[in-house]
Amino acid sequence: MRKWVIRVILVAAIVGVGVWLWGVFFPSPEHVIRKRLNELTQAVSFSSNEGSLAKAMNAERLTGFFSPDVEITVDVPGHSQQTLHGRDEVLQAGMAARALAGSLNVEFLDVNVTLAPDKMSAVVNLTAKGRAGSEKDLLVQELKLMMKKVKRDWLILQVETVKTLS
């Protein structure tokens, strides 16, 4: 009886480890996208003590998250609509943000990933929360991202602001 129980526990443990290893080596697209977006928040964020070289390198690193033909449209109340096309403009925007704000801390909350049936593209809806420099107020904006799978990587193809209230 005791041997039987040990065998069952052993099989359950092996199955559990197998499932865990499968998740580690073959993560679901949704998991990969969430991880990628988490890395993006780290690349977008910067501190006030970032050196000039680090500034340039981190801004350059930012472009790796985007497709070469990325289009970013920002339409928020009180400002004219801004559109960025391509990685070069993303890089310039990243550099400009680093020059203008002393620091920036960005988080993505409520990340909802909807995969296309072929699992080669996805639509992501999320809330971006940011605090720039010593600003008291938080910047909060709902965003919609379109991502596509290129080889084993997920790249951002399109970003647009969502009007929660219109």
Q: Label each residue of 67-113 as H, E or C.
A: EEEEEEEECCCCCCCEEEEHHHHHHHHHHHHHHHCCCEEEEEEEEEE
Do 143 and 161 touch, CB atoms closer than 8 A?
A: yes
Tell me phi and psi for residue 73, to 5 degrees: -115, 120
Do 162 and 144 touch, CB atoms closer than 8 A?
A: yes
- Shortest distance, position 145 Cβ to another protein, whole Å: 11
As beta bridge partners, residue 144 has: 125, 160
Say whether 1 sits in a helix, a strand or coil.
Answer: coil
Look at the block and give the residue holding tokens 């109340």.
77
- Shortest distance, position 1 Cβ to another protein, whole Å: 49
The 72-111 site mask, x for binding another protein (CB under 8 A), equals -----xx------------------------------xxx
In the sheet that holds 121-132, the strands lie side by side as 82-85, 66-74, 153-161, 139-150, 121-132, 104-115
- Shortest distance, position 85 Cβ to another protein, whole Å: 25
Q: Which is nearer to another protein, 110 or 118 (CB)?
A: 110
- Shortest distance, position 79 Cβ to another protein, whole Å: 9
Among 28, 47, 92, 112, binds another protein (CB under 8 A): 112
Kindly state the number of chain residues that form the binding site for another protein, as judged by CB under 8 A. 18
As beta bridge partners, residue 109 has: 127
Q: Which is nearer to another protein, 55 or 144 (CB)?
A: 144
Segment 15-54, which members bind another protein (CB under 8 A)?
none
**Part in contact with another protein (CB under 8 A); list of ranges 56-64, 83-91, 95-103, 138-146:** 138-146
129 scored as a contact of another protein (CB under 8 A): yes
Binding region for another protein (CB under 8 A): 77-78, 109-112, 125-127, 129, 140, 142-143, 162-166
